[in-house]
Structure 1
Amino acid sequence: MSNYAQTARVKGIILDENSVPVDNVNISYQNKLTHTNANGFYELTVPANQKITIIFSHVSLKKTTATLQLKPNEDYEFNVVMNNKAEQMGEVVIVNNRKRVQGITNLEPEVIRKIPGANPGIENILKTLPGVYSNNELSTQYAVRGGNYDENLVYVNEIEVYRPFLVRSGQQEGLSFTNTDLVQNVDFSGGGFQAKFGDKLSSVLDITYRRPTKFGAAADVNFLGASFAVDAVSKNQKWTALTGFRYRNNSFLVKSQQTETNYKPSFADVQTNISYTASTKWQWSFLGNISQNKYNYQPLSSQTNFGTISEPIALQVFYQGQEKDKYDTYFGALKSTFDVNENFILKFIGSAYHTLEQEYFDIDAAYSLGEVDSNIGSETFGNVTFSRAIGSQLNHARNDLDALIVNAEVKGFHNLKKHQIEWGLKYTREDIRDRIIEWEVIDSAGFSLNNPKILPIKDQPYDPVYVGPLVPYQNVRATNFVTINRFSGYAQWSLKDKIGTSDVWYNAGVRMHQWQVSGDGLDGNNQTVISPRAQFAIKPDWDKDMVFRISGGFYHQPPFYRELRDSSGNVNPNVKAQQSVHFVLSNDFSFKMWNRPFKMVTEAYYKTLTDVNPYTLENVRIRYAATNNATAFAQGFDMRLNGEFVPGTESWFSFGYLKTKENIDNRGDIARPTDQRLKFGILFQDYMPNIPSVKVYLNLVYNTGLPGGSPSYADPYLYQNRLRDYRRADVGFSYVLTEKNASRPEGHWLKNFKELSAGFEIFNMFNNQNAITNTWVRDAYTKSQYAIPNYLTSRVFNIKLSMRL
Structure 2
Amino acid sequence: MAQLNVAQTARIKGVILDEFNSPIENVSVKIGETGTVTNANGFYSLEIPANKDITIVFSHVTFKDATLTVNLKTNEDFEFHPVLNSKVTQISEVIVTGDNKKRIEGIIAIDPVLIRKIPGANAGIENIVKTLPGVYSNNELSTSYAVRGGNYDENLVYVNEIEVYRPFLIRSGQQEGLSFTNTDMVESVDFSAGGFQAKYGDKMSSVLDITYRNPKRFKVGVEASLLGGGITAEGISKNQKWSNITGVRYRDNSLLVNSQETETNFRPKFIDIQTLLNFNASTKWNWSFLGNISQNTYNYKPLTRQTNFGTISDPIALLVFYEGQENDEYLTVFGAIKSTYQYNTKNKLKFIASTYHTQEQEYYDILAQYRLGEVDSNIGSETFGDVTFSRGIGSQLNHARNDLDALIFNAETKGFHEINEKTQIEWGFKYTREDIKDRIVEWEVVDSAGFSLPAPILEYQNDQPYNPYTGPLAPYKNVRATNYTTINRFSGYAQWNHRGFLGEHKYWLNAGIRAHQWQVSGRNIYGDSQITFSPRVQLSLKPDWENDVLFRISGGMYNQPPFYRELRDYDGVVQPNVKAQKSIHLVLSSDYSFKIWNRPFKLLTEGYYKNITDVNAYTIDNVRIRYRADNNAKAYVYGFDARLNGEFVPGTESWFSFGFLKTEENYNDRGYIARPTDQRLKFGLLFQDYMPNIPNVKVYLNLVYNTGLPGGSPSYADPYDFQLRLKDYRRADTGFSYVFKDEKIKSEKKWLEPFSELSLGLEIFNLFNNQNAITNTWVRDVYTKSQYGIPNFMTTRVFNVKLIARL
The normalised TM-score by structure 1 is: 0.92
Contact 1:565/1:624 (<8 A) preserved: yes
Instruction: Please tell me whether residue 498 in structure 1 is matched to residue 507 in structure 2.
Output: no
Local SS of the residue matching 1:453: helix
Contact 2:521/2:576 (<8 A) preserved: yes
Instruction: Please tell me whether residue 436 in structure 1 is matched to residue 444 in structure 2.
Output: no
What is the identity, as a one-letter code, of the residue corresponding to 2:142?
S
Distance 2:727 2:774 in 1: 9
Per-residue CA distance 1:512-532 (angstroms, 9 max, x = gap): 000000001111000000000
Local SS of the residue matching 1:682: strand
Contact 2:416/2:425 (<8 A) preserved: yes
Per-residue CA distance 1:446-473 (angstroms, 9 max, x = gap): 11011121242x3555666622321111
Per-residue CA distance 1:706-756 (angstroms, 9 max, x = gap): 0002112100001121000000100000000115987644x8221221110
Local SS of the residue matching 1:724: coil
Identity of aligned residues (%): 66
Local SS of the residue matching 1:116: coil
Match of 1:67 in 2: 65
1:467 maps to which of 466, 470, 473? 470
Instruction: Please tell me whether residue 730 in structure 1 is matched to residue 728 in structure 2.
Output: no
Which stretches in structure 2 are left out of the alignment for 5+ residues? 1-11, 47-54, 69-79
Distance 1:714 1:462 in 2: 23
Match of 1:682 in 2: 685
Local SS of the residue matching 1:775: strand
Map residues 447-466 of structure 1 onto 2, 5 A cutoff.
447-456=451-460, 458=461, 460-461=463-464, 466=469
- Please report how far the alpha carbon of residue 27 of structure 1 lies from its aligned counterpart in structure 2 after TM superposition: 4.5
Per-residue CA distance 1:525-548 (angstroms, 9 max, x = gap): 000000000000011111110000
What is the identity, as a one-letter code, of the residue corresponding to 1:766?
F
1:564 maps to which of 546, 562, 567? 567
Match of 1:477 in 2: 480
Map residues 456-605 of structure 1 onto 2, 5 A cutoff.
456=460, 458=461, 460-461=463-464, 466-605=469-608
- Please report how far the alpha carbon of residue 498 of structure 1 lies from its aligned counterpart in structure 2 after TM superposition: 1.1
- Please report how far the alpha carbon of residue 483 of structure 1 lies from its aligned counterpart in structure 2 after TM superposition: 0.1
Distance 1:166 1:149, change over 3 A: same
- Please report how far the alpha carbon of residue 152 of structure 1 lies from its aligned counterpart in structure 2 after TM superposition: 0.2
Instruction: Please tell me whether residue 668 in structure 1 is matched to residue 666 in structure 2.
Output: no
What is the identity, as a one-letter code, of the residue corresponding to 1:226?
G
Distance 1:791 1:314, change over 3 A: same
Local SS of the residue matching 1:112: helix
Local SS of the residue matching 2:198: coil
Distance 2:576 2:244 in 1: 42
Distance 1:461 1:109, change over 3 A: farther
Distance 1:504 1:615, change over 3 A: same
Distance 1:46 1:105 in 2: 35
Distance 1:711 1:6 in 2: 63
Match of 2:365 in 1: 362
Which stretches in structure 1 are left out of the alignment for 5+ residues? 13-23, 37-41, 57-63, 83-91
Distance 1:385 1:716 in 2: 35
- Please report how far the alpha carbon of residue 10 of structure 1 lies from its aligned counterpart in structure 2 after TM superposition: 3.1
Distance 1:103 1:634 in 2: 19
Instruction: Please tell me whether residue 54 in structure 1 is matched to residue 59 in structure 2.
Output: yes
Distance 2:132 2:523 in 1: 44
Distance 1:467 1:443, change over 3 A: same
Map residues 274-289 of structure 1 onto 2, 5 A cutoff.
274-289=277-292
- Please report how far the alpha carbon of residue 198 of structure 1 lies from its aligned counterpart in structure 2 after TM superposition: 0.1
Distance 2:643 2:99 in 1: 18
Instruction: Please tell me whether residue 324 in structure 1 is matched to residue 327 in structure 2.
Output: yes
Distance 2:701 2:45 in 1: 38
Per-residue CA distance 1:81-107 (angstroms, 9 max, x = gap): 99xxxxxxxxx9986621111110000
Local SS of the residue matching 2:174: helix
1:786 maps to which of 785, 788, 805? 788
1:656 maps to which of 655, 659, 665? 659
The normalised TM-score by structure 2 is: 0.92
2:773 maps to which of 771, 774, 784? 771
1:108 maps to which of 106, 111, 119? 111
Contact 1:5/1:73 (<8 A) preserved: no
Contact 1:6/1:211 (<8 A) preserved: no
1:751 maps to which of 742, 750, 753? 753
What's the Cα RMSD here?
A: 2.5
Distance 1:733 1:95, change over 3 A: farther
Distance 1:460 1:358 in 2: 38
Local SS of the residue matching 1:194: coil
Map residues 181-200 of structure 1 onto 2, 5 A cutoff.
181-200=184-203
Contact 1:693/1:739 (<8 A) preserved: no
Distance 1:119 1:196 in 2: 30
Map residues 404-423 of structure 1 onto 2, 5 A cutoff.
404-417=407-420, 418-423=422-427
Per-residue CA distance 1:155-184 (angstroms, 9 max, x = gap): 000000012100000010011100000000
Distance 1:539 1:324 in 2: 57
Instruction: Please tell me whether residue 9 in structure 1 is matched to residue 17 in structure 2.
Output: yes
Local SS of the residue matching 2:670: coil
Distance 1:46 1:54, change over 3 A: farther
Distance 1:775 1:755, change over 3 A: same
Instruction: Please tell me whether residue 230 in structure 1 is matched to residue 226 in structure 2.
Output: no
Distance 1:777 1:469 in 2: 22
- Please report how far the alpha carbon of residue 500 of structure 1 lies from its aligned counterpart in structure 2 after TM superposition: 1.4
Distance 1:519 1:75 in 2: 52
What is the identity, as a one-letter code, of the residue corresponding to 1:750?
L
Match of 1:61 in 2: none
Distance 1:65 1:678 in 2: 42
Match of 1:168 in 2: 171
Distance 1:741 1:579, change over 3 A: closer
Contact 1:445/1:461 (<8 A) preserved: no
Contact 2:655/2:686 (<8 A) preserved: yes
2:213 maps to which of 189, 210, 214? 210
- Name whichever of 194-203 and 779-788 sits farther off: 779-788
Q: How many residues align?
A: 767
Instruction: Please tell me whether residue 136 in structure 1 is matched to residue 139 in structure 2.
Output: yes
Per-residue CA distance 1:615-664 (angstroms, 9 max, x = gap): 00000000000110000011100000000000000000010001000000
Distance 2:396 2:56 in 1: 67
Contact 2:740/2:747 (<8 A) preserved: no
Local SS of the residue matching 2:753: helix
What is the identity, as a one-letter code, of the residue corresponding to 1:54?
S
Distance 2:81 2:376 in 1: 66
Distance 2:617 2:725 in 1: 18
Local SS of the residue matching 1:752: coil
What is the identity, as a one-letter code, of the residue corresponding to 1:29?
V
Contact 1:444/1:461 (<8 A) preserved: no
Instruction: Please tell me whether residue 146 in structure 1 is matched to residue 154 in structure 2.
Output: no
Contact 1:9/1:44 (<8 A) preserved: no
Distance 1:743 1:533, change over 3 A: closer
Distance 1:563 1:405 in 2: 16
Distance 1:390 1:7 in 2: 74
Distance 1:446 1:72, change over 3 A: farther
What is the identity, as a one-letter code, of the residue corresponding to 1:661?
E
- Name whichever of 402-411 and 371-380 sits farther off: 371-380
- Please report how far the alpha carbon of residue 398 of structure 1 lies from its aligned counterpart in structure 2 after TM superposition: 0.5
- Please report how far the alpha carbon of residue 67 of structure 1 lies from its aligned counterpart in structure 2 after TM superposition: 2.0
Contact 1:53/1:65 (<8 A) preserved: no
Match of 1:19 in 2: none
Map residues 344-355 of structure 1 onto 2, 5 A cutoff.
344-355=347-358
Distance 1:404 1:469, change over 3 A: same
Distance 1:541 1:332 in 2: 48
